[in-house]
């Protein structure tokens, strides 16, 4: 559903806005936010999904502040 998430982000935010995703899952929102020049904070309780989201985000060129 990346197309849908991209559209939601475009409608409801502006460039450099911060998006909070309390159910990060595989990181779709974070990935879309990066593509649209938004910042994103994701929260996920399951370690497997945290690793999946981190891998997905690390595949694009971005600066991670750890």
Q: How far apart are CA 23 and CA 20, in angstroms?
A: 9
- The pLDDT-based confidence of 61 (bands split at 50, 70, 90) is low
Q: What is the mean pLDDT of residues 2-31?
A: 96
Does this model's pTM top 0.85? My answer is no
Q: How many residues does the chain have?
A: 66
Q: Is the pLDDT of residue 63 over 80?
A: no
Distances (CA, A) of 4 to 9, 35, 41, 45: 9, 14, 19, 24
Which residue would you say has higher pLDDT here, 62 or 8? 8
- The pLDDT-based confidence of 65 (bands split at 50, 70, 90) is low
Decide: 17 and 40 in contact? Cβ < 8 Å.
Answer: no
The pLDDT value recorded for residue 57 is 82
């Amino acid at each position: 559903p990346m197309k849908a998430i991209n559209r939601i982000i475009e409608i409801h935010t502006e460039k450099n806005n911060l998006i909070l995703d309390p159910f990060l899952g595989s990181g779709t929102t974070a990935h879309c936010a990066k593509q649209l020049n938004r910042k994103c904070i994701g929260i996920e309780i399951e370690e497997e999904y945290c690793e999946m989201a981190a891998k997905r985000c690390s595949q694009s060129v971005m600066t991670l502040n750890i």
